Structure 1
Amino acid sequence: MLRNLLALVAGGLFGAGLLVSGMVDTAKVQGWLDVFGIWDPTLAFVLGGAVAPMVLVWRLAKRREKSLLGLPMPRDLPLLVDRNLVLGSLLFGAGWGIAGFCPGPALAALGFGGWQVWVFVAAMALGMAASPLLQRRLDLLDAPAEG
């Protein structure tokens, strides 16, 4: 119960931060990405405002064995740069640049963003559903030929 309540509060805080920072405004996001046009650097402050506290929190978390809820703390995973990471990053970046949305702000804008947000979220859901099928196809291409 407490875990769900904390998740609700954290999600609400995250959504409020997206609204206040302008991350749900596609024009602001695309202005950030338009470095050769009319560049809008204000989202750099959003990024800094998110990264700076997380650096501190992750340093403190590394010293703990259990979370505040008593759950085991996750440990560092090895850095693996593979095809999935590269392709996923390229698709994420292309979608963000074209639409001006990434998943969190898109969900936050569903209630007021108009039909375009609904189209984006539907396309995102379709892509998430198609991803395992594409993954299996790519894995078949990588499999050594028998014979």
Structure 2
Amino acid sequence: MSAQHEQHPLFLPLVFVGGLIFGFGLGFSHMAQPEVVLNFLQLSDLGLLFVMGGAAVVTGLTFFGITFVRGDAPLTGAPYARRLKSLDRNVVFGGAIFGVGWGLSGICPGAAYASLGVGNVVILYGIAGMFVGAYLQGVVRSSPLGEDSSASAAD
């Protein structure tokens, strides 16, 4: 967020409420259970496809429609704009690593936290792995040997 846009006092509480709703939805739809996700990845239960598809439709319609109603974000005042990311080597490798981690743990990062709420304490190993991986990625990208360290600050 740029210095010219002041954050609304309700920004963080609404982010928290949004996270609670997201976590509740994941728990309610059983998507916080790695077994359900692994069954989806093995194409034996396609329920996750409907959950993700429904979320994508609601999000797409909201983002498409809100730009006609408002020119800026209500809580930050920042203008709505597309963030384009080029398809480069980092995107491909990062996506592959994310996919392997998702397949091995049976859960994506957002659902991993919700999974704690349904009693899956073993997922703490996966969450620790996510933090270690993110830290190592930051170290590699910020080192002088990191290919495009100037672009990583903008990501």
CA separation in 2, counterparts of 1:120 and 1:4? 26
The question of 1:15 aligning with 2:23 is answered yes
SS of alignment partner, residue 18 of structure 1: helix
TM-superposition CA deviations, 1:54-90 (whole Å, max 9, x none): 1110111222212233612331123410111111110
Bigger relative CO (Cα 8 Å, ≥ 6 apart): 2
Alignment partner of 1:85 is 2:91:
yes
Moved over 4 A (4+): none
RMSD, aligned CA: 1.7
**Residue of structure 2 equivalent to 1:143:** none
What 5-or-longer segments of structure 1 have no aligned partner?
A: 141-147
Counterpart of 2:120?
113
The equivalent of 2:6 in structure 1 is none
d(CA) in 2 for partners of 1:72 and 1:138? 31
Report the number of matched residues.
136
Partner of 1:53 in structure 2?
58
User: What's the TM-score once normalised by structure 1's chain length?
Assistant: 0.84
Q: 1:138 to 1:13 in 2, by over 3 A?
A: same
Using the size of structure 2 for normalisation, the TM-score is 0.80
Q: Does 1:131 align with 2:137?
A: yes
Moved more, 71-80 or 54-63: 71-80
- One-letter identity of the residue aligned with 2:26: L
The CA deviation at 1:53 is: 0.7
- In structure 1, what residue type is equivalent to 2:80? P
Distance (Å, rounded) in 2 between the aligned partners of 1:15 and 1:56: 21
Gaps of 5+ in 2: 1-8, 149-155
